[in-house]
Amino acid sequence: MSRIAKMPVSIPAGVDVTISDQSLSVKGSGGLLTLSVNALVNMTSADGKISFNAANESREADAMAGTFRQLVNNMVVGVTKGFEKKLTLIGVGYKAQAQGAKLNLTVGYSHPVNIDMPEGIAVATPTPTEIVLKGADRQRVGQVAAEIRAVRPPEPYKGKGIRYADEKVAIKETKKK
């Protein structure tokens, strides 16, 4: 059995987990998240913990039990604490401005780039060169961050562009005569 699936997910106070035949939903102060149930995983809920077991002895079921356990754990953490990603803009004249559910980027193009935030994702710009994304769904926060980074990824010679706050960009040496 998967080592990750052996650890049960503990449900903190204030979080409501509902398991049905087709889906699992987690509701907390951060919102409501749902996940469709996989037939290869058996779930049992008892005294504030959810346990996961493979439905059969196949390798695929074993792997899916660990994956499903981690997805449910991310849902529980998301509705209690939430997830956040930080992006940094590096370059002369590069700036970002959050206006409600929109993000306006000026990153060296002839026009400003406007990005609409999906529902459940909050954007903030503490400084003009920092972007902070927050939300309950870990996958959606990461996907939106990747889409914003893709507008102007960091280039390898000067390092200009949009990068994650903890990202290290390897700077190449320029061509010599």
* Domain-located, residue 171: no
Per-residue model confidence (pLDDT) at position 66: 92
> Phi/psi class of residue 129: alpha, beta or left (left: φ > 0; alpha: ψ in -120 to 50)?
alpha
- How far from 110 is each of 23, 105, 106, 152, 159, CA to CA, in Å? 46, 11, 9, 13, 20
Task: Note whether 21 and 73 are same-domain residues.
Answer: yes
Is residue 85 very low, low, confident or very high in pLDDT (cuts 50, 70, 90)?
very high
Res 80 pLDDT > 90 = yes
**Dist CA 39 CA 82 (whole Å):** 28
Task: Note whether 102 and 152 are same-domain residues.
Answer: yes
* Domain-located, residue 34: yes
User: Which of 40, 39, 10, 38 lies closest to 26, judged by CA?
Assistant: 10
Q: What is the pLDDT of residues 123-164, one digit of tens each?
A: 999 999 999 999 999 999 999 999 999 999 999 999 999 999
Per-residue model confidence (pLDDT) at position 1: 61
Answer for the pair 138, 35: CB distance below 8 angstroms, yes or no.
no
Residue 90: Cβ within 10 Å count: 16
Domain that holds residue 151: 83-164
Q: What is the pLDDT of residues 106-115, one digit of tens each?
A: 999 999 999 9
Per-residue model confidence (pLDDT) at position 129: 95
Taking residues 59-87, report their average pLDDT: 94
Task: Note whether 94 and 138 are same-domain residues.
Answer: yes
Q: Which of 60, 80, 100 is the last residue of a domain?
A: 80
Residue 65 sits in a domain whose CATH number is: 3.90.930.12
Answer for the pair 128, 106: CB distance below 8 angstroms, yes or no.
no
